[in-house]
Structure 1
Amino acid sequence: MTGPQDEAAQWWATAVSHIEPGSIELRERPVQQLIGQAGFVDVIWLLLRGTTPSPRQAALLEAALVAGVDHGPQAPSIAAARMAATCGIGLNSAMATGVNMLGDAHGGAGQQCVEMLTDIVGAASKGVGWDDAARLTMADWQSRSRYLPGFGHRFHPRDPRRDPLLALVEQAVADGTVGGDHLKAALAVEAALERRRAGARPVPMNIDGATAVIYAELGFAAPLARGLFVLSRSVGILAHAWEETGQGRRNKGPLPRTVLPARLPQPHET
């Protein structure tokens, strides 16, 4: 017969961590063995996957996390955190405000791109060529939305983070760290878009697409692509919220007071 303590332990049983008086284990690894020995990216991998990454896997994951940390106050998550920081709610709440802005339209494209690339890889595994697999999958996705996640950018003609990230993936493929199928899928989409838009503004891969390639090549499930992006962007959110707290503003709005109209127009006015 189990007692209340045993029942509570079973209720909260988890493979992620185990805590007892004088003992903290993360995935069965004593924390004292990790402190000073494992990097933060190693521990992220350990907690999510239950294993430790190779140095090359860790370096690739770290590159993706570094690339996504910030995109300036044009990003709704950053802007919201900065405004929240002036409302007297505390740094943690300002960060939560920014993180909670990361949804399907802002922050979710990485997850969506992993799903799309996985569809292409699945089609290619059945004998369909990469170009046809990309074309068919793109048509399926665009039957539901005109946007292709991970491609094009409203601000950058060519996302400056694309090339260095994909170069690292290519190196990882060459040395056998990753397989390369998701990279092939992403490049096939990019090539199809280039053919489709001949003579028009190109739609190259963006940060969401490039990091989606990395997360997928490293074997992370699609929802974790969003989670890892949130983890990465939290660094920028923290930095912006902290900077804003030191600038002395109160109740910062989306526009400076000097450019606000004296009176907002009423619905019946034209």
Structure 2
Amino acid sequence: MSDTGQESMTRREIGNWWSTGVIRIAPGEIEPRGYPVQELIGQASFVDTVWLMLRGELPDPRQSRLLEAALVAAVDHGPQAPSIAAARMAATCGVGLNSAVATGVNLLGDVHGGAGQQCVELLERMAALRAGGAPVDRVAADEVAGYRARGEYVPGFGHRFHPRDPRRDPLLGLVGEAVEEGVVPGGPLESALALEAALSEGRARPVPMNVDGATAVVYASLGFPAELARGLFVLSRSVGILAHAWEEHGSGARIKGPLPRSVLAEYTGPPTRHVPADRRA
């Protein structure tokens, strides 16, 4: 093989190593999913572009509206959220803004930030059972009974702070409208409402959906895989994390810890004691 042929093969091999269907880049050309970026600018919203990058096509405006509502709903929940508090503390420690944001984002795991993904997985599991002919109320009751038997929380329901999450009703209302218009299927909403009813049965105080459950209904209805539900939550919450990190950055505070300086953590170890004399140098 000639040197020119060998060089051509090497270039193809290198190009194939990072081959992607997400974007085409060439000198003077940028095409996310095949669309020239200059045509997207001013014509597609940021949410449209999120959909395009993840799904490969531009969304219907009604799909875009529903996705945007879910992203707006989960933007922030104040410094009592660990991801927000951590970002604010990091911002007072001399790190850059990007590091402060990364600190908050890195706290979004299975317990704090993962319930939306887990709820979509639950809705997908219920959909499979319903496809086999099981009635939704029975499926929901069985799922709730299973979580209770394992001593686990049903992901996406109840809130430690809000008796009724104020984000639930508007999100589910938009999903209901989209179902009526034929934009999305009704299965995820029906399953989630059945879970809510099963959780509240026999209780004086109901257990309504929280933002994780309501956004899970949105993401499942729009056909996003469960793992992307967490990714979309991270994208949304990153905005709140950024805002809090920037505010704290401007406060002038230094080394802000989890407790005010006047408050000390309660000590639960042994009382004050002294090193035995025979161990002293």
The reply to whether residue 165 of structure 1 matches residue 171 of structure 2 is yes
Cα distance between partner residues in 1 of 2:264 and 2:44: 51
| 1:258–1:17 distance in 2 versus 1, CA, 3 Å | same
Give the match's secondary structure for 2:69: helix
Cα distance between partner residues in 2 of 1:266 and 1:196: 40
Cα distance between partner residues in 2 of 1:238 and 1:145: 35
The reply to whether residue 234 of structure 1 matches residue 238 of structure 2 is yes
Cα distance between partner residues in 1 of 2:202 and 2:144: 12
Q: Which of residues 218, 222, 245 is equivalent to 1:218?
A: 222
Cα distance between partner residues in 1 of 2:175 and 2:83: 28
For structure 1, list consecutive stretches of 5 or more residues without a partner in the other structure. Answer: none
Cα distance between partner residues in 1 of 2:188 and 2:108: 24
Aligned-residue RMSD, C-alpha: 1.4
Instruction: Describe the superposition over 1:3-36 as per-residue Cα deviations: whole angstroms up to 9, x where unpaired.
Output: 3322111000000011111111101111111111
Alignment size in residue pairs: 266
For structure 2, list consecutive stretches of 5 or more residues without a partner in the other structure. Answer: 1-5, 273-281
**Which residue number corresponds to residue 269 of structure 1?**
271
Cα distance between partner residues in 2 of 1:143 and 1:34: 51
**Which residue number corresponds to residue 133 of structure 1?**
139
Cα distance between partner residues in 2 of 1:269 and 1:172: 63
The reply to whether residue 66 of structure 1 matches residue 72 of structure 2 is yes
Could you list the runs of 4 or more consecutive aligned residues of structure 1 that deviate by over 6 angstroms after TM superposition? none
Cα distance between partner residues in 1 of 2:222 and 2:178: 10
Structure 1 stretch 134-143 or stretch 79-88: which is displaced more? 134-143
- Counterpart residue type for residue 271 of structure 2: E
| 1:16–1:144 distance in 2 versus 1, CA, 3 Å | farther
- Counterpart residue type for residue 19 of structure 1: I
Give the match's secondary structure for 1:25: strand
Structure 1 stretch 65-74 or stretch 252-261: which is displaced more? 252-261
Cα distance between partner residues in 1 of 2:258 and 2:99: 18
CA-CA distance at 1:145 after TM superposition: 4.5
Give the match's secondary structure for 2:53: helix
Percent pairwise identity? 65
**Which residue number corresponds to residue 243 of structure 1?**
247
CA-CA distance at 1:142 after TM superposition: 4.0
Cα distance between partner residues in 2 of 1:254 and 1:189: 36
**Which residue number corresponds to residue 152 of structure 2?**
146
Q: Report if the CA contact (8 A) 1:119-1:137 is conserved.
A: no
Cα distance between partner residues in 2 of 1:157 and 1:266: 33
Q: Report if the CA contact (8 A) 2:144-2:198 is conserved.
A: no
| 1:12–1:142 distance in 2 versus 1, CA, 3 Å | farther
Cα distance between partner residues in 1 of 2:48 and 2:80: 31
TM-score by length of 2: 0.91
The reply to whether residue 257 of structure 1 matches residue 261 of structure 2 is yes
Alignment of 1:19-34 (within 5 A): 19-34=25-40
- Counterpart residue type for residue 162 of structure 2: H
CA-CA distance at 1:88 after TM superposition: 0.5
CA-CA distance at 1:225 after TM superposition: 0.3
Q: Which of residues 195, 204, 209 is equivalent to 1:205?
A: 209
Cα distance between partner residues in 2 of 1:192 and 1:31: 48
Structure number with larger C-alpha Rg? 2
| 1:121–1:266 distance in 2 versus 1, CA, 3 Å | closer
